[in-house]
Structure 1
Amino acid sequence: MNNFINTLNELDQEMILFLNGLGSPFWDGFWQFITNKWTAFPLYALLCWLCYKKHSLKQFLAILLCIAVMIALTDQLSNLFKIQFHRLRPCHNPLINGRLRFTHCGGQFGYFSAHAANTFALACFLGNIFKHFYPKMLLWLLLWASIVSYSRIYLGVHYPLDVLTGLSIGILFGYGMYIFYKRIIIKKIK
């Protein structure tokens, strides 16, 4: 088992060095902008407005509550994993941090990416909520979540495996919350 984990870590390190090395100073500012949590505020405001416009007040408030619970769960699960696994972020890993082209470092530990988990959970949940009104919304939101998630690799903050784990957990929680909303919440508020 240790050989498998070591091989996985080595592969992850090679992948981040390759992907991080693809960057250029021209794009650095763009990816810093994308990774900033406040950058998406206009998107969140638009999504809130669309939710309010397409749903009753009770449904709108229920959707907001579901989002708050879902993001709290994905975010706190990410924090729990970071504490339990103690996996150094690439930018803090002395084996590779000197070889990274560009870094924008966060806390010391990084398994798994809360950015990826939160954005994919939101994309999956709202994409399904809106699928009857805006059929392509899910695809657009998943593209947005992918771009935000990639920014974490570009900036040397997360390994690709951190992002893939966050993506998987985000989709699981987002779709799970959508099912909960459709099967339980909607029946209670109608």
Structure 2
Amino acid sequence: MMQELLQFDTELFLKIHRGLSNDFFDWIMPLLRNRFFWSPLYLFIVIFCIRQYKKAGLYIIGGVLLTFALGDGISSKIIKPNVGRIRPCNEVLLADQIIHRVPCGSGKSFPSSHATNHFGIAVFLIGVFYRKWKSILPIGIIWAAAISFAQVYVGVHYPIDVFCGMILGISLGMLTTAIYRYTEKRFLKRTIVETT
């Protein structure tokens, strides 16, 4: 069963990594997974939260940082070393099929920390702002999904790495949203929805 699942995972990886290959994806996908590409967005979130929500904004930023710390710590420091799955771009059996679009790195593959972190942050921000801005739901999910898909396309993760990273990230985002909601009720006089 496990061997069949891994075989399916490899086949799906190759269908995405090689089968969807085109010049536009070759240009955009490495950018989507580059943390520096999103720096303006992160800076905007920080400035927006502080200017718009003052003290509550600091709690939101703290929630984002907590979500990232939990996601990165659990995926990179706990799960990856214990599972030890080799990245597809470092897999000897796939060496002649890999298109080297980005540096592979020596880290392990399962789960995808990019998927964990970005789905975690997206779900946390959705949890905080959904009652005020319903459009954050599709925007957040599409944003995290695009970054996660890019990980497979450039060859550094298998689809299962991304899927499990997504599940972990969603779970952590829900956890930190619950922590934020508790903190909001206990320590803040007004909620985000009430703030104008």
Q: Is 1:169 paired with 2:137? A: no
Report the CA distance between 1:103 and its aligned residue: 4.0
Q: Which residue of 2 is the match for residue 64 of structure 1?
A: 61
1:19-38 → structure 2 map (5 Å cutoff): 19-21=16-18, 22-38=20-36
Q: Say how many residue pairs are matched.
A: 186
Q: Report the secondary structure of 1:95's partner residue.
A: helix
Q: What TM-score, normalized by structure 2, do the two folds share?
A: 0.88
* Dislocated runs of 4+, deviation >3 Å: none
Q: What TM-score, normalized by structure 1, do the two folds share?
A: 0.91
Counterpart contact for 1:59–1:186, Cα < 8 Å: no
Cα distance in structure 2, aligned partners of 1:24 and 1:52: 41
Cα distance in structure 2, aligned partners of 1:131 and 1:34: 24
Q: Which residue of 2 is the match for residue 50 of structure 1?
A: 48
Question: Identity of counterpart residues, as a percentage?
Answer: 29
* Paired residue type of 1:93: E
Counterpart contact for 1:129–1:178, Cα < 8 Å: yes
Report the CA distance between 1:170 and its aligned residue: 0.7
* Paired residue type of 1:8: L
Q: Which of 74, 79, 89 is the equivalent residue of 1:91? A: 89
Report the CA distance between 1:53 and its aligned residue: 4.0
Cα distance in structure 2, aligned partners of 1:174 and 1:50: 20
Cα distance in structure 2, aligned partners of 1:27 and 1:68: 30
Q: Which runs of 5+ in 2 are unaligned?
A: 190-196
Q: Which residue of 2 is the match for residue 81 of structure 1?
A: 79
Counterpart contact for 1:35–1:151, Cα < 8 Å: yes
Q: Which residue of 1 is the match for residue 12 of structure 2?
A: 15
Structure with the higher helix share, 1 or 2: 1
Distance 1:188 1:26, change over 3 A: closer
CA RMSD of aligned residues (A): 1.5
Report the CA distance between 1:37 and its aligned residue: 0.5
Counterpart contact for 1:86–1:109, Cα < 8 Å: yes
The C-alpha deviation readout for 1:14-44, integer Å capped at 9, x for no partner, is 1101111111234212111111001111221
Counterpart contact for 1:127–1:139, Cα < 8 Å: no
Cα distance in structure 1, aligned partners of 2:24 and 2:14: 18
Cα distance in structure 2, aligned partners of 1:8 and 1:131: 36
Report the CA distance between 1:130 and its aligned residue: 1.3
Q: Which of 6, 12, 15 is the equivalent residue of 2:3? A: 6
